[in-house]
Chain A
Amino acid sequence: MSTIVETAAKPRLIMSRAKAFNVALAVGVVVVLIVSGLTQPEFLSVDNLVATVRAAALIGIAAVGMTFITLTGNFVSLSTEQTAVITAILCAMALGAGWPMWAAVVVPLAVAMVIGALQGIFVALGLNSIITTLGAGAAIFGIANVITDSKTIQARVPDPMWLGTARPLGIPVQVWIFVVLVLITMVVLRKTSFGRTVKMIGSNSNTARSSGLRITRAVVASFIIASVFAGICGVLLVAQVNQAKTLNFTGFNIDVVAAVLVGGTAIQGGEGSTLRTALGAIVIAMLTNYMLLAQYEYGTRLIITGFVVGGAVIAFNWVRGKSSS
């Protein structure tokens, strides 16, 4: 009898724990805001907050995409940075060659989609996702350097692009896109069969397989989503600075992985949400921005980020370990 009681009680427990994670993250955001506002007054200036949310939006969009990969139990992708780079370069080249804007956005994103699909097929076959994306990232970065000859590509758009600089209702377009993507992915993960399949694969791939779920399709789709979202970051960057080079996104992989891990998506898959990843991205962006304002050295910033990520991984592992035993 006790087993029945346990299985009945368990879902409620996990739900409340998930809510506790969200609350803890939100409290963390507020605490960081207050502390940094008190110690660095310019942190709360409008200009700085806009810059911070814009940075959070870029990290967040890529991290929300990567959450799908993490949820399927395939850890993280180490080719996000390189995918963003090659999309940005293709977008800038297309704009520079006089393509209409829609084509200069759609074609590079289609390339990102193909890149994601190829990696997804590899991983769905059973290849290690970290190694696959490490190799793919190296290859993509090499190709990006070959086609640009390591030079900066000018988009040569006469007027600043609406996508990059407009601020409807005082909020940058990037942030709007970020919010919309978070909402869409939340609905997809909760309400669609695809979203539930993604979570099911992560929590128990054997059960998912024997229930006849289409694992290959869901894993490939997850990699496509992650890759296209990374591509969106690349396009948004070109819209903002009107040019692209291979060194544009240096360190982006680290920030995006940090956002997913700090957001508390279970690294073995199955549990997590894009909302939490979004909060994780905001925490990382605010932390980075604060450390820049406080003029921390680059090394100190990396050490603190490393501690935050490692601490989050250990803490979430500890909490989950207690719940499962």
Chain B
Amino acid sequence: MTYKFFTPSLLSRIGILLFLWLAFTALSPNFSSFSNVYSVFEGFAIAGLVAAGVGTTMLVGELDLSVGSVAAVAGIIAVQCTGFGLVPAVLIASAVALVYGLAQGWIIARTGINSLVFTIATLILVRGVAFAMTPTAVLMPMDRIGMSDFLIFRLFIFSPFSLTTICVITALGLFLGYARWGREMMAFGGARNEARAAGLNMRRPIIIAFAISATLAGLAGSLASIKSASAAPFSYEGMLLTGVTAALVGGVSLYGGKGTMFGVVIGVLILRVLTAGIASRGAAVYVEYLATGVILLLVLVVEFTTESPQRRAWSERRAFERQLAAVSVPA
């Protein structure tokens, strides 16, 4: 088996990223400044974790819509647990998210309910939990403000936060690419019927995928909340949009089984550079929202025209008709 890492589609995405970077630098030279690159990577740190998690559910042919709510709850838990120290607080919050993700994955795998629909219900429910945990429904400050210093600390253009994200995504990529259960998830996502025929476990890939997406959302929410030294029940609502868009831009297919974690990283960076670039031109926040929505629609169309099952069926039918026309003699 020859495994090609730098496929043409990945190379073209890297090209788009470089082009955007150069274009924004040409428009405003400050764009390549040290502090701006740092802030792009800080945005990457949050969005990258969420996109990797949502992307994993997309790889098995499902989708987790509840990531934003999970991140908000995890943020609140982490901020409340800072008394135990930074690492324990993050670990507790992520562990709660992991348990939640396992339960959600188990219910989806067990009942066979479409995950898009089921996670709409949990999206409402978990957001409610976030509000119920903060009785005043406003910003909850952290007792130990000093704890966020460590996360903001700079190492060249990175922070401990963005380095954590890079390590986690690398580990996830290796898991999906080389571990037995990870390979099983890719096979399951790419061809569910064939996977069933081959005797693969039909529940494990779904449960693992939802556990990963909830855990990564929890990790993102807890780290980001500790970094900003506060948690609010209404935060991270835009995470889902960013995560799905970044994963799609990075080449993860909505139809399952196709995509790499390196692609997700490139996708998140493209999105972050674009939003940072728009912000650097002095546009309001909602313009970024508009841009993300438009990019999402564009990527959807591009992805559909290149690799959807319908499109594949259509081109096969066309090829068949052409063959038929070549064989049959016009009457």
User: Hey, which bits of chain A sit against chain B, CB under 8 A?
Assistant: 75-76, 122, 125-128, 130-132, 134-143, 145-146, 150, 254, 257-258, 261, 267-268, 297-307, 309-310, 313-314, 317-318, 321
Contact = CB atoms under 8 A, between A and B. Distances in A.
A141 B289 CA distance: 8
Nearest to B133: A299
A313 B304 CA distance: 29
B232 interface: no
B290 to A, nearest CB: 3
Nearest to B254: A128
Nearest to A307: B125
Interface of B: 63, 65, 107, 111-114, 116-118, 120-135, 137, 233, 240-241, 244-245, 248, 254, 284, 286-287, 289-294, 296-297, 300-301, 304, 308-311
Given A135-B296, A305-B128, 15 more contacts: A75-B116, A126-B309, A131-B248, A132-B297, A139-B293, A142-B286, A297-B131, A299-B128, A299-B233, A302-B125, A303-B129, A303-B132, A305-B124, A306-B123, A317-B112
A131 B254 contact: yes
Given A299-B137, A306-B124, A150 B114 contact: no
B34 to A, nearest CB: 31
Contacts of A301: 128
A305 B120 CA distance: 11
B125 A142 contact: no
Contact of A138 (B114, B116, B289): B289
Nearest to B288: A142
A21 to B, nearest CB: 17
A142 B311 contact: no
A122 B310 CA distance: 13
A-B pairs, 6 with minimum CB distance: A142-B290, A306-B125, A302-B128, A299-B131, A138-B293, A299-B132
A288 B38 CA distance: 45
A75 B114 CA distance: 9
13 contacts: A122-B300, A135-B296, A139-B290, A141-B290, A142-B290, A145-B286, A146-B286, A302-B127, A302-B131, A305-B125, A313-B121, A314-B107, A317-B111
A306 B122 contact: yes
Given A127-B304, A267-B117, A314-B113, A135 B124 contact: no
Nearest to B132: A299
Given A261-B117, A299-B137, A309-B121, A138 B292 contact: yes
Contacts of B123: 306
A122 B254 CA distance: 15
Contacts of B113: 267, 313-314, 317
Contacts of B111: 314, 317-318, 321
A142 B292 CA distance: 9
B296 A134 contact: yes
B132 A309 contact: no
Given A138-B290, A141-B289, A313-B117, A299 B254 contact: no
Contacts of B310: 125-126
A130 B289 contact: no
A142 to B, nearest CB: 3
B135 A143 contact: no
Interface of B is mostly: helix
Contacts of B126: 306
Contact of B244 (A131, A141, A142, A302): A131
Contacts of B133: 299
Nearest to A118: B297
Nearest to B111: A317
A29 B123 CA distance: 25
Contacts of A127: 300-301, 304, 308
Contacts of A75: 114, 116-117
Given A127-B304, A145-B286, A135 B132 contact: no
Contact of A299 (B129, B241, B289, B293): B129
B121 to A, nearest CB: 4
A126 B137 CA distance: 41
B127 A150 contact: no
Nearest to A137: B293
B124 A254 contact: yes
Contacts of A125: 304, 310
B317 to A, nearest CB: 12
A130 B137 CA distance: 29
B300 A76 contact: no
Given A125-B304, A267-B117, A317-B112, A303 B244 contact: no
B296 A138 contact: yes
A298 B127 CA distance: 10
B120 A309 contact: yes
A146 B287 CA distance: 7
Contacts of A126: 304, 308-311
A310 B122 contact: yes
B124 A139 contact: no
A125 B116 CA distance: 19
Contacts of B127: 302, 306
Contacts of B291: 142
B296 A298 contact: no
Contacts of A303: 125, 128-129, 132
A212 to B, nearest CB: 16
A143 B63 CA distance: 27
Given A126-B304, A299-B131, A76 B233 contact: no
Contacts of B286: 141-142, 145-146, 150
Contact of B63 (A130, A136, A137, A313): A130
